Amino acid sequence: MQRARAPIPLSARAVLNVDLAALRANWARLNEVSGRAECAGVIKADAYGLGLAPIARALTSEGCKTFFVATVDEGRAAREVQPGATIYVLDGLLPGAEANYAGFDLRPALSSLAEVRDWAAYSRARGRKLAAALHIDTGINRLGMPEGEVEQLAAEPDLLATFETTLIMSHLACADEPANPMNALQRDRFNILRAKLPPAPASLSNSGGTFLGPSFHFDVVRPGIALYGGRAHEGKPNPMRTVVRLAARILQVHEVAPGATIGYGAIFKVQRPSRIATIACGYADGFLRALSVATGKAGPVGYIGDYPVPIVGRVSMDNITVDVTDVPEELTRRGGWVEVMGERVTVDDLTDRAGTIGYELLSRLGPRVHRVYEGA
């Protein structure tokens, strides 16, 4: 039985609807695509801005048992809501931070020989073989042990025996481009480097890698953006369901004469008698300033019901202005809603216009945006 949705506070200026049923369906699809590999869930950055606790609970209810976060604090938050889950911390081990893992059963992704030595020493001090992942670099040159350190580590079996290696992982640099030869190069490099280490489950693929086929799956896949409805591969249809819908309230409607300008910088000049609605969402809420629209430029479009309303002028900190001239006046009253992201204008539609990626827009959605969870 579905629980009744909590009422939206009268003070809510913008609302993010998160469809947990769509989220679960996306995980189920990724789980099917991953074949024999376990499908984990990446819930770092507050589950890409959607709310770590409700997202983790929804994924667990669908069968997800392993989670990846970026920070120890995120790991602790995940542990509070998922006492039985396996949780990896991608930041690895900061100097002297070993005790922060105590009591939370978190597993650092060790990205250097120095981190390995620190974790081994901590395991000895605790008198038990603590679990961790070994993160090796295969070409992204961001986090991970380079080949020289992998060989040094392989030459010290006593060091490796001090703790439990539960995962050997790396990260694809170009998985969103299926034809990029870097993908196969990294996969092959991963096989060479992990063969130097004792056998352990392996993980290479993010969202894009999950769709690259069985040779990229190994034992665990780690989808992130695809869980939340974002596009995993550039230039291809997106098979994932829409998870998020962002709508903002109308604060005021202005009658504007031809020749008048809208907003900061006066970058948009009205060409006809118009009605311009100011809505309660801006870059402080996560709506990108790069989505501003100057005169003569095609910009993103919001919706009031089935009526499209073009964004006009500059996106400011707290407000967006939209042209509601062609919408019936009874639908554009103060307090009404304008949808600026959803199924008709997706997160990828917006970020394509802004010259960025869905990861950035979702993770920037601010705390002023009221969250509503559906399909729990």
CATH code for the domain in which residue 62 is found: 3.20.20.10
Is 26 part of any domain? no
Based on the fold, state whether residues 55 and 200 are members of the same structural domain: yes
Q: Tell me how far apart the terminal alpha carbons of the chain are, to the nearest angstrom.
A: 9
Of 338, 333, 307, 321, residue with least CA distance to 274: 321
For residue 283, give its domain range.
244-374
C-alpha distances (whole Å) from 231 to each of 11, 73, 182 are 33, 28, 19
Based on the fold, state whether residues 86 and 212 are members of the same structural domain: yes
Is 239 part of any domain? no
Is 146 part of any domain? yes
Based on the fold, state whether residues 222 and 255 are members of the same structural domain: no
Based on the fold, state whether residues 359 and 314 are members of the same structural domain: yes
> What pLDDT score was predicted for residue 5?
60
Angle between helices 52-62 and 20-33 (to 10 degrees): 50
Indicate if the alpha-carbon torsion angle 181, 182, 186, 192 is positive or negative. positive
C-alpha distances (whole Å) from 37 to each of 136, 210, 373 are 20, 10, 29
Q: SS3 for 246? A: strand
CATH code for the domain in which residue 309 is found: 2.40.37.10
Is 1 part of any domain? no
- Kindly report the pTM of this predicted structure: 0.94
Token readout for 139 is 């070409």
> What pLDDT score was predicted for residue 305?
96
Is 6 part of any domain? no
Is 17 part of any domain? no
Based on the fold, state whether residues 343 and 271 are members of the same structural domain: yes
Is 340 part of any domain? yes
Is the CB of residue 68 less than 8 Å from the CB of residue 85? no
Q: How many domains does the chain have?
A: 2
Q: HEC profile for 181-202?
A: CHHHHHHHHHHHHHCCCCCCCE
Active site residue 264: yes
Alpha-carbon Rg for the chain in angstroms: 24
Active site residue 44: yes
Q: How far apart are CA 196 and CA 232, in angstroms?
A: 31
Based on the fold, state whether residues 265 and 347 are members of the same structural domain: yes
> What pLDDT score was predicted for residue 1?
32
> What pLDDT score was predicted for residue 2?
41
Q: SS3 for 14? A: strand
Angle between helices 147-154 and 113-126 (to 10 degrees): 40
Is the CB of residue 116 less than 8 Å from the CB of residue 153? yes
Helix, strand and coil percent figures for the chain, each rounded to 5: 30, 25, 45
Based on the fold, state whether residues 140 and 253 are members of the same structural domain: no
Based on the fold, state whether residues 251 and 214 are members of the same structural domain: no
The residue assigned the tokens 């490099």 is: 189
Is 11 part of any domain? no
Q: Which of 65, 129, 264, 269 is catalytic?
A: 264
Q: What are 174-222's pLDDT values in tens digits?
A: 999 999 999 999 999 999 999 999 999 999 999 999 999 999 999 999 9
Q: How far apart are CA 78 and CA 62, in angstroms?
A: 16
Residues of the chain with pLDDT under 50: 1-4
Q: Which of 44, 283, 303, 373 is catalytic?
A: 44
Based on the fold, state whether residues 270 and 345 are members of the same structural domain: yes
Q: Where are the alpha helices (DSSP H) in the chain?
A: 20-33, 44-48, 52-62, 72-81, 113-126, 147-154, 157-160, 182-194, 207-210, 347-354, 358-364
Based on the fold, state whether residues 193 and 260 are members of the same structural domain: no
Of 116, 124, 86, 56, residue with least CA distance to 201: 86
Based on the fold, state whether residues 132 and 62 are members of the same structural domain: yes
Q: How far apart are CA 76 and CA 80, in angstroms?
A: 6
- The string of DSSP letters for 117-168 reads HHHHHHHHHHTS--EEEEEB-SS--SSSB-HHHHHHHHT-HHHHTTSEEEEE
Q: What are 316-336's pLDDT values in tens digits?
A: 999 999 999 999 999 999 999
Q: How far apart are CA 108 and CA 70, in angstroms?
A: 10
Based on the fold, state whether residues 220 and 143 are members of the same structural domain: yes
Of 142, 143, 160, 162, residue with least CA distance to 151: 160
